[in-house]
Amino acid sequence: MSNPPLSRARIGDVARLAEVSTATVSRALSNPDMVKPGTRARIREAISTLGYVPDGAARALALGRARTVGAIVPTLDNAIFARAVQGLQTTLSNSGYQLLISAHEYNLSAETEVVRALLERSVDAILLVGQDHAAQTYELIRASQVALVIMWSHPSAELAAAGETPPSIGFDNRLIGQLAADHLLSLGHTRFGAVSGFTRHNDRARERIEGFRETLAQHGCTLPDACVIEQPFGFEGGRAGLQHLLKLRPSPTAIFCGNDVLALGCLFEAQALSIDVPGALSIVGCDNLPIASQIMPGLTTILLPTYELGERAARAVLHWLADGEPPPHERLPIELIVRGTTARPCEAALQPTLA
Amino acid sequence: MSNPPLSRARIGDVARLAEVSTATVSRALSNPDMVKPGTRARIREAISTLGYVPDGAARALALGRARTVGAIVPTLDNAIFARAVQGLQTTLSNSGYQLLISAHEYNLSAETEVVRALLERSVDAILLVGQDHAAQTYELIRASQVALVIMWSHPSAELAAAGETPPSIGFDNRLIGQLAADHLLSLGHTRFGAVSGFTRHNDRARERIEGFRETLAQHGCTLPDACVIEQPFGFEGGRAGLQHLLKLRPSPTAIFCGNDVLALGCLFEAQALSIDVPGALSIVGCDNLPIASQIMPGLTTILLPTYELGERAARAVLHWLADGEPPPHERLPIELIVRGTTARPCEAALQPTLA
DNA sequence: CTGAAAGCGCTTACAG
DNA sequence: CTGAAAGCGCTTACAG
């Protein structure tokens, strides 16, 4: 407390000051009731005098686990991933684990390097988003024998049955497309379009579109490839997507967007073009971002409990690390949230003046 | 590659397979040109055969640094912090550092525990948001002798001159309030209000309001305490803030919000109350979230380069760790972004029918 | 209840 | 250019 110490206090410094061995200090810290209360008090005293904080690297080396979990998301610059990470972090933190976080910006080979970097920090487990990853990524994780949990996706029934997939805590992405299609069909639409993120290396995006397309097909409607436009995530992507779809003849009256950011982009572009939503055009998004309920006329969307996804994924990891047993797959419930009027749009109204 | 190894490969396994010592393997990894190309090739071969990934804990212990940096933000569930973290992460990652991330949800004593948890992971540096932290937090970091960099805030001139503050990479939060005041004054407003996050334990929020108030005072206008309403961050906070301000008599015609989320909440509430913005009410936010430019009629705001903040903070940390020299304070430029009409509002129009 | 000692998996002077 | 050996700061059987 007087003059600053020359170097950070070590367990040996504490032991010396408390007049015990380092073994006893170590026990006082990790197994308090193995040491006599009086000794414990002296040690506590010494620790606070010296401002001792144990060295995690040494601890991790001795214990063989670091109490650290690594998560890799496409980007943090998307409320949806940020929220899930928040759920992860809070849950892990409450159990004494820390979260090492990285983003790969939708670049699968960057992801492999990030995984390597995390493994080199001796994480106890790794969390990835989706099933689509470089073979090398899976190989690296397998060879390192760390726990791997997949978030967001749900493995196909066959794969899951064959036990071929890592434990997955996710959504039924195909069902998302199906809910959107059912809703839009129920409004009486017959001409559909979709704005999606890039589907390459993104099983979530792919399955959402597939689910949408299949459900339409079951009702005798088609979704031609030309009616599915892939755009970068972001408002501008959504705006460009709508512009593209409106150039089609006949143009769609109902649009399913892979997420709310794209859907909001569509909505803003429609407003700019004075297209009445939902009067003349129906838009369905996905995620239920807070903003979706705030804007006028409000955005119909599919609620994905992403914070809870993070929580559940964290719990799955914690159980795995505690039991040694891989956790079961989990599929989180999703829900269609209808906002705005649900009246069948008047198709005639849809004659925008394009810039 | 054949049957899965019983346990993760160690440096000794690589050495044995490549018929060299562990010292040589270590050198091949960290100082390649200290080892003969032929040996290097055998080692490379062995590494890939075994899928060897060095153990970071052991490495950190031997080297005395973990190549890991810890950051603590109030929450990730706010685009502004998520973006900065993204900037941090990307920059650190490019220099071979990993980011350990935690949130404290605006709870200062939770923050102290989080700091302890990070220190116990032997991070090389810690990044905090703002100057307001528990004394214990500062003490813990000082005793651990890890680098500390403050983000978002800029220390007051006196403190900085006295060298009392940790290196800070931030904004001039007082100037933010000043820019907002100057803008609103230039529109001819005379009655002002403010919606702020909680100012307790939040120097950014406090300084923004102070800057706003001081600038108004310099122009003969006052901002009574009753005209500053503190609300939790979130759209609902902004909405409640506007409701509160509209109950005042006379009610303000110009509102400064501590950030864009609150400002958007105000704007949505105004829309719900059919108050014309910016015709009857001027709102200025802060951050320039992407959504601010998308909504109609658009939100006047103050652009804070938060991604760059993360980048710069990461660079400051990296330099510090490389040089041993604490980096200088840095103040990032901010900019008023005017959106919507700038006409003086017709005060008579502001007679909302409150629910 | 406590201590002496070995060991966790690396790195790096030191010697050759 | 390479190897034997000590050391980084903890933890934990083992012995008392």
Instruction: Assess whether B312 and B167 both reside in one domain.
Output: yes
Residue A259 contacts B where some CB pair is shorter than 8 Å:
no
Give residue B340's pLDDT: 75
- Sole residue written with tokens 């044995």: B16
The bridge status of strand B68-73 relative to strand B98-103 is parallel
Check residue A202 and report its DSSP letter: -
Q: Nearest C-alpha of chain B: how many angstroms from A143?
A: 6
Is the same domain home to B177 and B263?
yes
**Closest chain A C-alpha to B221 CA, distance in angstroms:** 33
pLDDT at B94 over 50: yes
Is the pLDDT confidence value at B355 over 50?
no
Contact B268 A101 (CB under 8 A): no
Q: Are residues A209 and A234 located together in one domain of the fold? A: yes
pLDDT of residue A109: 80
Question: Are the beta carbons of A89 and B68 separated by less than 8 Å?
Answer: no
Of B113, B104, B107, which Cα lies nearest the Cα of B73? B104
Cis peptide before B278 (omega within 30 of 0): yes
Instruction: Please state, in angstroms and as integers, the Cα–Cα distance from residue B91 to each residue in B87, B94, B349, following that order.
Output: 6, 5, 50
Which nt sits closest to A55, CA to C1'?
D9
Average per-residue pLDDT in chain A? 91
- Does one domain contain both B35 and B99? no
| Residue pLDDT, tens place only, A16-51 | 999 999 999 999 999 999 999 999 999 999 999 999
Phi, psi (rounded to 5 degrees) for B194: -145, 140
Q: Are residues B165 and B311 in the same domain?
A: yes
Provide the chain A residues 121-150 that lie in CB contact (below 8 A) with chain B: 121-122, 139-140, 142-145
Quick: pLDDT tens for B278-301: 889 999 999 999 999 999 878 999
| pLDDT for the residue numbered A223 | 95
Mean pLDDT (chain B) is 91
Q: Are residues B197 and B177 in the same domain?
A: yes
**What's the CATH code of the domain at B17?**
1.10.260.40
Shared domain for B165 and B312, answered yes or no, is yes
Query: Hey, is the C-beta of A294 within 8 angstroms of any chain B C-beta?
Result: yes
Alpha carbon B104 to its chain centroid, in Å, reads 13
CB-defined contacts A:B, below 8 A: 174
Stated in angstroms, how far is A322 CA from D11 C1'?
Answer: 19
Find the CB nearest A121 among B50, B98, B295.
B98
The reply to whether B1 falls in a domain is: no
**Are residues B145 and A83, on separate chains, in Cβ contact within 8 Å?**
no
Q: How confident is the model at residue B106 (pLDDT cuts 50, 70, 90)?
A: confident
Q: Based on the domain organization, do A87 and A228 belong to the same domain?
A: no
Mean pLDDT score, B307-333: 95
Q: Within a domain: residue A3?
A: no
Question: Is residue A355 domain-resident?
Answer: no
Mean pLDDT for B311-334 is: 95
The band of B6, judged by pLDDT with boundaries at 50, 70 and 90, is: low
| Rama region for A207: left / alpha / beta (φ>0; ψ in -120 to 50; rest) | alpha
Q: Is the pLDDT of residue B5 over 80?
A: no
Q: Do A7 and B90 touch (CB under 8 A)?
A: no
Closest nt by CA–C1' to A10: D9
Do A159 and A198 belong to one domain?
no
Let me know if residue B6 belongs to a domain. Answer: no
**In this complex, is the C-beta atom of A49 within 8 Å of any C-beta atom belonging to chain B?**
no
Residues B261, A19: Cα–Cα separation, whole Å: 56
List the structure tokens of A103: 């983003």
- What range does the domain containing A145 cover? 63-170+306-332
Segments in chain A below pLDDT 70: 1-6, 341-355
B241 contact partners, CB below 8 Å, separation of at least 6: B195, B229, B231, B257, B262, B265, B266
Strands A98-103, A254-257: pairing kind:
unpaired
Nearest CA in chain A to B238: A294
Whether residue B133 is found in the same domain as residue B161: yes
Which protein residue has its CA closest to C1' of C12? B23
pLDDT of res. B30: 92
For position B353, what pLDDT does the model report?
36
Question: pLDDT by residue (tens digit) across B15-72?
Answer: 999 999 999 999 999 999 999 999 999 999 999 999 999 999 999 999 999 999 999 9
Burial A103-115 (b: 16+ CB within 10 A, else e): bbebebebbbbbb
Which residues in chain B are closer than 8 Å to A290, comparing Cβ atoms? 234-235
Is B287 domain-assigned?
A: yes
Between the alpha carbon of residue A15 and those of residues A24, A31, A41, the distances in Å are 8, 16, 12
Domain assignment of residue A166, yes or no:
yes
The pLDDT confidence band at residue B349, using thresholds 50, 70 and 90, is: very low
DSSP-assigned letters across all residues of A87-156: HHHHHHHHTT-EEEEEE-TT-HHHHHHHHHHHHTTT-SEEEEESS---HHHHHHHHHHT-EEEEEE----
- Strand C: residues with CB below 7 A: A 19-24, 27, 33-36, 38-39, 58, 61-62, 64; B 10-12, 22-23, 25-27, 29-31, 52, 54-55, 58-59, 61-63
Is B2 within the bounds of a domain? no
Q: Are A179 and A297 within one domain?
A: yes
Q: Which helix (H) or strand (E) holds A319?
A: helix A306-323
B189 vs A159, higher pLDDT: B189
Query: What's the domain count of chain B?
Result: 3
CATH of the domain at A327: 3.40.50.2300
Both A328 and A226 in one domain: the answer is no
Percent over 70 (pLDDT), chain B: 94
Mean pLDDT lowest among A93-97, A349-353, B74-78, B80-84: A349-353
Let me know if residue A17 belongs to a domain: yes
CA distance A219 to chain B (A): 36
Per-residue model confidence (pLDDT) at position A164: 76
